[in-house]
Structure 1
Amino acid sequence: MLKVSFENKDLDNNEAIAIIINDQLKIDSETLLIDQKHHGLISKTIKDKRIFKPEYGYSKILTTTNKDGEVRYLILIALGSEDHVSEVRIEEIGGKIHLLATSCKASSVGIRIPNKVGHLKQEKIAALLGGGALLASYRFDKYQTMKSNEEKFITEDFDIIVDDHEHALKLFEEQKSLALGVFFARDCINEVPNILYPESYAERILEKLEPLGIDVDVLGESQMRSLGMGALLGVGQGSSNESKLVVMKYNGLDDDSDPICFVGKGVTFDTGGISLKPAAGMGDMKYDMGGSASVVGVIKALALRNAKINVVGIVGLVENMPGGNAQRPGDVVRTMSGQTVEVLNTDAEGRLVLCDCVTYLQQNFKPACIVDIATLTGAISISLGNTYAGCYANDDELAHKLIAASLKTNEKLWRMPLHPDYNDMLKSTVADMANIGSEKGLAGSSTAAHFIGRFINTGVKWAHLDIAGVAYDKKGTNPICPKGAVGFGVRLLNQFVKDNYESK
């Protein structure tokens, strides 16, 4: 893992030095000393509009030498206007610096930051830069055995020069805890499906969370059958891998206050079942447990930073396969709530998992609110692309809290509509409801949300986050996330808890 340090070191000991430049192109006295050591290379570059633009995120790598004639790199990165500075922008700057240092094969990069940037003080800026660099340093390459050391090269040391390094380190510890939660989520999502299946996933959760003081219960199929979880069990009945339900309880308070509750869809591989998906792109369906990874990741992060809050997380873990015992289109299943569902499409399976999860949650706990998160529908990607996740909520205040947290973390949510018309589209002629809408191709993500909503008890505040379009980044343009699993939702849900429910 990347080593982030906050010390009063000599910047010249690093193979790369990063300089943050605002849109005023003014350099402070410390940067001026660095500039003078390198014969005015920094000042000459930023004054030339042809080669440097003071727009947020713009960067330039300059090659130079130190006093001993050894090659060194100056990384210039533009902050843009300080009026628009935000915590997430500073994190992204940290991620960009790490990526640029890695690209020029610098084993270490040093950065001296100003006393204040916008409304943020030096120690906070340092912690955010370190957190962003840590998130950007994530790699999942354990199966790439033919890669050379040069191809696997990554900058290992990120040295931030700050006056009060003890305060900066204390602030960074929270950033590190959050990053470790994100890493856990990314590791689970990126893991290959013959290694990560319901049983092994449940074991991984136990292994990683129990040592942190989190109470983890794993329910097997016999227990779920006795509870009447016919919907969840129906999804997994075609697989030779047993389905699991994992309940995680984090008690950061000594009282019996009602917990914040998170529910995650954990379909470790989704073939579509009998309603088989096309072969092209089916390998991506190992990511269909992204919602569950967000839940386990945020609970790990909350525990690591000793958050003053009580939280319950539930994830339903299944594998949707077209075996001889697989669920058929036209089957009717009885859910834990007692409601019956006509399964018209076995590829609309996530909602069948979630409905039994939220029922179990409400029967065993008294939730202050419920937020479920799932890679639920392709329809949400058609609506929102890869920019926003969809947010459905039966409570305006809950929706507002989630969207505010999403803006702070840049894990963006867009509120989507709940309407009786969509609910009516779930009618079935043989059961209480169908698992898909009656009008093919219309309002697929909204009917899916309404399906889950039918299992939410009256008076319970509930939100559903459809993250199908944002859980995985194929472009690799996110400065704090390499190409692959994003871990979307960990930072968002952590911020949501921190801003609205956590005891100070």
Structure 2
Amino acid sequence: MKIAFAKPAIPDKGALVVGVFDGKTLGATATELDELTGGQLGRALKASRFKGEAGKSVVLDAPHGVTLDRIIMVGLGKPDAVTTTTLETVGGAAVARLGELGDETAALAIDLPDAADLEPADAAAHAAFGATLGAFRFDRYRTTEKPEEKPALTKLTVLCDAHEGAKAAFAPLQAVAEGVALTRRLVSEPANVIYPETFCEAVADLADLGLSIEVLDEARMRKLGMGALLGVAQGSARPPRLLVMEYRGARDKTAPPVAFVGKGVTFDSGGISIKPAAGMEDMKWDMGGAGVVAGLMKALAGRKAAVNAVGLCGLVENMPSGTAQRPGDVVTSMSGQTVEVINTDAEGRLVLADVLWYAQDRFKPSHIIDLATLTGAIIISLGSEHAGLFSNNDDLSEAISEAGTAVGEKVWRLPLGEAYDKMLRSDIADMKNTGNREAGSITAAQFLQRYLKDKDTPWAHIDIAGVTWSKKDKPTVPKGGTAFGVRLLDRMVADMIEQGGGDSGPGRAKDKDKDKDKDGDRDGDKGKGKEKGKGDKKKKKK
């Protein structure tokens, strides 16, 4: 779908999407259309249950008095609560409805209320961003789908007075959307298509954006002493890989980078501790953390972020076979620490242990953030509403929490502590790879914390097991792979690093949202749960 921007005008054909505020109050373009159609919009609203709720819509087909095919009225919610997130929802909801109706071309009118502290250009850009996110569709394996079942929309024109500014503001957001799309594609592919070798091939073209890409094979990892990662991989016919993506966008190219580490278990059968058959097909997305890291690196490089960043993905397949590691085996990690493998389905932490150590040993990062579909326990704790956040640093935790709230990818911080760490004690090795059934997500995080070389290095672990895959459609997140984490960490980089803790990165409105059992590995010492973030609002031009 192509996105364009233009001055406000009633199109001659196609569909036009207009805004309606809470209480069935028409926006400026909707009011103009109501006059042109002899009050049809007002009558349609009166006859419907639609009240102007954000993301909801009403369709008026073949309206009298204009040559449009249809008018779609989309809710904007309360006028004093319109944010960039609201506009992204509107864009996504509009594209979803247009997809159902079969329109090939459409326009979206952006009419801001006086109460909105948003720049018109930023508002239009975020509406286009939401539309782009909502238009994602993974359909490469659908060969018998009828034409009328496929979305027909090829072009969406966003109408805004500041259309040139909107085009400029959309450019970095489009780069983020492309990063999101990459993650969603990787996560959606079946495990016979995406495995360690082909994952690396799928991201090789990121070098065109200026990324330096390196792939470590099994022999190289063995030489480095990555016994924990290789132990997970030894049961599969697919050889493991360590993918390293480096981007130097800061003014000082030699400054320590931020390290993003992703768990990339391209299929997780559970190994010898095999999972139940029901739902095992979902384990193709146990590489969700690696997918997010790849998409994030594409986003940062695509929008030319002023940051040094390195993305590392530990890529393995966890399979049962005659060569697979067994419960009770002891492996030696790159750090030299030994691990008694109690459960081969608690494999993600073993992969991350070696990649975390390698990241620190080679790059000496300023911050470390890892993402993983690590524990089923986090789904029991938080469902699909929040990702679990663990950190040894309050400032980093706060930055991640605020960024997550700003983009609608919420996290909740859970505690770490010595009492939890003791649950990992082994009788024969330095540690076990699982604790007891209690606090499964916390003990997994405690395990990872043991692989910090310098305990003072700011580190965060984000458990995305409950938020990597969606079973229902949302305006900006179609059913399937969500890419949760790409937008969150891109925003965190913009706020915490590019702006030095300031307001926002390029192309973002500075808006403050107003208030906005398996213990295996699908699978801060202060336990502060955080949901609300602080962003900032940009004053609307007079």
TM-score, normalised with respect to structure 1: 0.96
1:59 correspondence with 2:57: yes
User: In structure 1, what is the equivalent of residue 538 of structure 2?
Assistant: none
User: In structure 1, what is the equivalent of residue 392 of structure 2?
Assistant: 394
The question of whether the paired residues in 1 share the 8 Å contact of 2:191 and 2:284 is answered with: yes
User: In structure 2, what is the equivalent of residue 338 of structure 1?
Assistant: 336
1:315 partner SS: strand
**One-letter code of the match for 2:245?**
M
User: In structure 1, what is the equivalent of residue 223 of structure 2?
Assistant: 226
Distance in 2 (alpha carbons) for counterparts of 1:495 and 1:7:
27
Distance in 2 (alpha carbons) for counterparts of 1:268 and 1:25:
48
1:88 partner SS: helix
Alignment of 1:139-178 (within 5 A): 139-178=137-176
Distance in 1 (alpha carbons) for counterparts of 2:38 and 2:184:
44
Distance in 2 (alpha carbons) for counterparts of 1:124 and 1:216:
33
User: In structure 2, what is the equivalent of residue 83 of structure 1?
Assistant: 80
**One-letter code of the match for 1:6?**
F
Give, in angstroms, the shift of residue 300 of structure 1. Answer: 0.3
Correspondent of 2:401 among 400, 403, 411: 403
Correspondent of 2:487 among 488, 491, 495: 491
Alignment of 1:12-411 (within 5 A): 12-23=11-22, 25-27=24-26, 30-46=29-45, 48=46, 51-65=49-63, 72-114=69-111, 118-206=116-204, 208-255=205-252, 256-411=254-409
Distance in 1 (alpha carbons) for counterparts of 2:147 and 2:321:
42
Distance in 2 (alpha carbons) for counterparts of 1:186 and 1:460:
31
Distance in 2 (alpha carbons) for counterparts of 1:203 and 1:77:
41
User: In structure 2, what is the equivalent of residue 481 of structure 1?
Assistant: 477
Structure 1 runs of 4+ aligned residues shifted over 4 Å read none
Can you list the C-alpha shifts for 1:284-306, whole angstroms capped at 9, x where unaligned? 00000000111110110011101
Identity across the alignment (%): 44
Give, in angstroms, the shift of residue 420 of structure 1. Answer: 1.1
Can you list the C-alpha shifts for 1:361-406, whole angstroms capped at 9, x where unaligned? 1101121110000000000000000111000000111111100000
Give, in angstroms, the shift of residue 166 of structure 1. Answer: 1.4
Can you list the C-alpha shifts for 1:130-152, whole angstroms capped at 9, x where unaligned? 01001111111111101111112
Correspondent of 2:420 among 419, 422, 434: 422
Distance in 1 (alpha carbons) for counterparts of 2:366 and 2:325:
35
Give, in angstroms, the shift of residue 246 of structure 1. Answer: 0.7
Can you list the C-alpha shifts for 1:386-445, whole angstroms capped at 9, x where unaligned? 1110000001111111000000011110001102111000010010000000x2x21100
**One-letter code of the match for 1:479?**
P
The question of whether the paired residues in 1 share the 8 Å contact of 2:20 and 2:30 is answered with: no
Correspondent of 1:445 among 441, 447, 452: 441
Q: Are residues 399 and 28 of structure 1, via their aligned partners in 2, closer, same or farther at CA, if it must alter by over 3 Å?
A: closer
The question of whether the paired residues in 1 share the 8 Å contact of 2:372 and 2:463 is answered with: yes
Give, in angstroms, the shift of residue 44 of structure 1. Answer: 2.6
Distance in 1 (alpha carbons) for counterparts of 2:241 and 2:291:
14
Give, in angstroms, the shift of residue 60 of structure 1. Answer: 1.1
1:322 partner SS: coil
User: In structure 2, what is the equivalent of residue 465 of structure 1?
Assistant: 462
1:327 partner SS: coil
Distance in 1 (alpha carbons) for counterparts of 2:248 and 2:13:
43
Distance in 1 (alpha carbons) for counterparts of 2:154 and 2:346:
44
Give, in angstroms, the shift of residue 71 of structure 1. Answer: 7.1
Q: Are residues 420 and 3 of structure 1, via their aligned partners in 2, closer, same or farther at CA, if it must alter by over 3 Å?
A: same
1:454 correspondence with 2:445: no
Q: Are residues 14 and 445 of structure 1, via their aligned partners in 2, closer, same or farther at CA, if it must alter by over 3 Å?
A: farther
Can you list the C-alpha shifts for 1:88-124, whole angstroms capped at 9, x where unaligned? 2210111001111111111122122225561112111
The question of whether the paired residues in 1 share the 8 Å contact of 2:24 and 2:51 is answered with: no
Can you list the C-alpha shifts for 1:257-297, whole angstroms capped at 9, x where unaligned? 11111000000000000000111111100000000111110
Q: Structure 1 unaligned segments of length 5 or more: list them.
A: none
**One-letter code of the match for 2:165?**
H
Give, in angstroms, the shift of residue 65 of structure 1. Answer: 3.7
Give, in angstroms, the shift of residue 67 of structure 1. Answer: 5.6
Give, in angstroms, the shift of residue 32 of structure 1. Answer: 2.8
Can you list the C-alpha shifts for 1:346-369, whole angstroms capped at 9, x where unaligned? 000000000000100110112111
1:11 partner SS: coil
1:42 partner SS: helix
User: In structure 1, what is the equivalent of residue 498 of structure 2?
Assistant: 502
1:299 partner SS: helix
Distance in 2 (alpha carbons) for counterparts of 1:485 and 1:26:
36
User: In structure 1, what is the equivalent of residue 5 of structure 2?
Assistant: 6
Give, in angstroms, the shift of residue 17 of structure 1. Answer: 1.1
Give, in angstroms, the shift of residue 12 of structure 1. Answer: 2.9
1:111 partner SS: strand
Distance in 2 (alpha carbons) for counterparts of 1:30 and 1:491:
31
**One-letter code of the match for 1:221?**
E
Q: Structure 2 unaligned segments of length 5 or more: list them.
A: 500-504, 506-542
The question of whether the paired residues in 1 share the 8 Å contact of 2:16 and 2:72 is answered with: yes
The question of whether the paired residues in 2 share the 8 Å contact of 1:101 and 1:108 is answered with: no
The question of whether the paired residues in 2 share the 8 Å contact of 1:66 and 1:72 is answered with: no
The question of whether the paired residues in 2 share the 8 Å contact of 1:375 and 1:471 is answered with: yes
**One-letter code of the match for 1:449?**
A
Distance in 2 (alpha carbons) for counterparts of 1:10 and 1:406:
36
Give, in angstroms, the shift of residue 29 of structure 1. Answer: 5.0
Distance in 2 (alpha carbons) for counterparts of 1:29 and 1:474:
36
1:417 partner SS: coil
The question of whether the paired residues in 2 share the 8 Å contact of 1:115 and 1:121 is answered with: no
Distance in 2 (alpha carbons) for counterparts of 1:397 and 1:171:
29
